[in-house]
């Protein structure tokens, strides 16, 4: 059975081949193929005729000459094409070079125009900063004339000294009532002074970093946006506006900021804290806490011209030492303390 099947398939294959050949020659051939076939046939016939007339050697030489002529023609055509491409590339290069030279000639003019625009923009920024500073100073002057008595049941000043400058943070936490129950507090100003050649200068309250402020009203905490209010002496200040105003009910509120206050301590191992109790502000308890970095070696805090010495230091979970000074009903006066360390340890600890 398999042999019969193979024989039958082969017969079919032969019939199919004959049919395909017959169909191929029935179709018209392409002109290029016909020309090539006719040309090759004519060339072969001419060679046979010339060979019978002149012999094989002259015919061979003629063939070589003919092939050389064809090769020379092909090479000339290639060279002409390359020449045209080179001419086009040269034209493009000349155009690009002209554009570059034109841009170079325009560049000084363009740079000068940019410089003039930058100077004009700089003057606009300076004018804007000047006007904003005038506005802040005017706001501060109005605030100074409208100050009301303030009663702080408690103020905690928390100074966190970072191992690096970006770790310095100051937080002020208040519990406040109106000093005059008939005149609720609409706002309260906060003031910051920096000193030391290693501490960046504060031009405005706006320079402070990562400022956060909030108040607690009816058990809920609401954010506050401090309003820069110019300078008062060497200090920059801002207004904390209370909504609703603070009356006889104690209001808890706080604010904090980052600024590299403690560069002198990190660089020179000594620094100081200063605080002024104003006449129109009453404190039941003023608490100052200084948190030294865990790298500090034997930190100290000593009073200057006052008798308020710090309590024994306490360590937190991060092994940072906190020194606390408490002033009960401090009188209006200027208070200061010195801070010092023997040095700082390099990690790991």
**What pLDDT digit, counting tens, does each position of 32-90 carry?**
444 444 454 555 555 555 556 666 666 566 667 777 778 877 888 888 888 888 888 88
**Higher pLDDT, residue 285 or 131:** 285
Assigned domain for 171 exists? yes
Beta bridge partners of 158: 171, 289
| Residue 143 near residue 228 (C-beta atoms within 8 A) | no
Distance CA 67, CA 73 (A): 10
Place of tokens 């209370």: 242
pLDDT of residue 45: 55
Of the chain, the percentage scoring pLDDT greater than 70 comes to: 81
Q: Tell which of 121, 154, 175 closes a domain.
A: 121
Assigned domain for 135 exists? no
pLDDT of residue 147: 86
Same structural domain, 225 and 304: yes
Distance CA 203, CA 130 (A): 12
Same structural domain, 245 and 310: yes
Phi-psi region of 221 (alpha: psi -120 to 50; beta: other; left: phi over 0): beta
Place of tokens 């023609």: 73
Q: How many CB atoms lie within 10 A of CB 271?
A: 23
Query: Strands, DSSP E only, in the chain?
Result: 150-160, 169-178, 185-192, 209-217, 220-223, 227-232, 235-246, 251-258, 270-276, 281-283, 285-291, 296-297, 300-304, 314-315, 321-328, 334-340, 343-344
Distance CA 115, CA 111 (A): 6
What's the structural domain count of the chain? 2
Same structural domain, 166 and 233: yes
pLDDT of residue 43: 52
Q: Is the pLDDT of residue 287 over 80?
A: yes
Structure tokens at 133: 């500073």
Assigned domain for 4 exists? no
Tell me the pTM.
0.66
Task: Say which residues have a Cβ less than 8 Å from residue 154's Cβ, sequence separation at least 6.
Answer: 173, 174, 175, 283, 284, 285, 287
Assigned domain for 3 exists? no
In this structure, what are the phi and psi dihedrals at residue 79, rounded to the nearest 5 degrees?
A: -65, -40
Distance CA 280, CA 330 (A): 13
pLDDT grade for 223, boundaries at 50, 70 and 90:
very high
Same structural domain, 287 and 157: yes
Same structural domain, 102 and 203: no
Beta bridge partners of 206: none
Assigned domain for 173 exists? yes
Q: Is the pLDDT of residue 14 over 50?
A: no
Average pLDDT score, the chain = 84
Distance CA 167, CA 159 (A): 11
pLDDT grade for 217, boundaries at 50, 70 and 90:
very high
Assigned domain for 62 exists? yes
Same structural domain, 203 and 76: no
CA Rg value for the chain: 48
* Share of the chain residues as helix, strand and coil, in percent rounded to the nearest 5: 45, 30, 25
Same structural domain, 114 and 154: no
Q: Is the pLDDT of residue 334 over 70?
A: yes
Distance CA 338, CA 349 (A): 26
Q: At what angle do helices 56-145 and 31-54 cross, to 10 degrees?
A: 150
**Higher pLDDT, residue 275 or 57:** 275
Q: Is the pLDDT of residue 289 over 70?
A: yes
Assigned domain for 8 exists? no
**What pLDDT digit, counting tens, does each position of 292-318 carry?**
999 999 999 999 989 999 999 999 998
Assigned domain for 132 exists? no
In this structure, what are the phi and psi dihedrals at residue 243, rounded to the nearest 5 degrees?
A: -135, 110
pLDDT grade for 8, boundaries at 50, 70 and 90:
very low
pLDDT of residue 5: 45
pLDDT of residue 53: 67
Q: Tell which of 87, 121, 155 closes a domain.
A: 121
Q: Which residue range is the domain that position 108 belongs to?
A: 36-121
Same structural domain, 182 and 318: yes
Distance CA 191, CA 199 (A): 17
**What pLDDT digit, counting tens, does each position of 123-179 carry?**
887 787 778 888 888 888 888 888 899 999 999 999 999 999 999 999 999 999 999
Q: Tell which of 104, 121, 138 closes a domain.
A: 121
Distance CA 288, CA 339 (A): 13
Same structural domain, 162 and 202: yes
CA 12 to each of CA 6, 9, 17: distance values in angstroms, whole numbers, following the listed order = 10, 5, 9
Same structural domain, 103 and 248: no
Same structural domain, 55 and 189: no
The CATH number of whichever domain residue 223 belongs to comes to 2.60.40.1730
CA atoms within 13 A on the CB side of 94: 6
In this structure, what are the phi and psi dihedrals at residue 290, rounded to the nearest 5 degrees?
A: -120, 120
Same structural domain, 215 and 330: yes
pLDDT of residue 313: 93
């Amino acid at each position: 059975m398999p042999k019969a099947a193979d024989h039958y398939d082969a017969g079919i294959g032969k019939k199919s081949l004959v049919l395909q050949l017959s169909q191929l020659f029935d179709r018209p051939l392409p002109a290029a193929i016909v020309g090539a076939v006719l040309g090759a046939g004519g060339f072969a016939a001419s060679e046979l005729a010339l060979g019978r007339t002149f012999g094989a050697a002259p015919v061979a030489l003629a063939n070589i000459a003919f092939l050389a002529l064809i090769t020379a023609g092909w090479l000339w055509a290639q060279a002409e094409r390359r020449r045209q491409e080179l001419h086009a590339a040269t034209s493009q290069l000349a155009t690009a070079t002209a554009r570059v030279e034109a841009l170079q000639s325009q560049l000084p003019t363009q740079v000068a125009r940019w410089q003039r625009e930058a100077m004009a923009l700089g003057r606009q920024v300076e004018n804007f900063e000047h006007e904003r500073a005038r506005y802040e100073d005017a706001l501060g002057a109005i605030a100074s004339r409208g100050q009301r008595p303030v009663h702080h049941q408690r103020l905690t000043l928390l100074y966190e000294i970072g191992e690096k400058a970006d770790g310095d943070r100051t937080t002020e936490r208040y519990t406040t009532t109106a000093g005059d129950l008939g005149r609720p507090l609409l706002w309260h100003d906060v003031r910051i002074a920096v000193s030391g050649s290693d501490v960046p200068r504060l031009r405005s309250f706006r320079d402070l970093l990562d400022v956060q402020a909030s108040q607690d009203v009816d058990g809920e905490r609401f954010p506050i946006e401090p309003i820069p209010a110019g300078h008062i002496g060497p200090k920059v200040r801002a207004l904390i506006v209370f909504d609703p105003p603070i009356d006889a009910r104690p209001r808890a509120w706080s604010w904090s900021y980052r600024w590299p206050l403690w560069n002198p301590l990190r660089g020179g191992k000594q620094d100081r804290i200063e605080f002024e109790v104003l006449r129109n502000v009453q404190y039941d308890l003023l608490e100052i806490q200084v948190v030294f970095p865990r790298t500090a070696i034997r930190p100290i805090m000593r009073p200057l011209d006052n008798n308020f010495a710090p309590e024994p230091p306490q360590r937190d979970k991060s092994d940072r030492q906190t020194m606390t000074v408490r002033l009960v009903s401090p009188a209006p006066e200027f208070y200061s303390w010195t801070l010092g360390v023997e040095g700082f340890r390099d990690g790991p600890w």
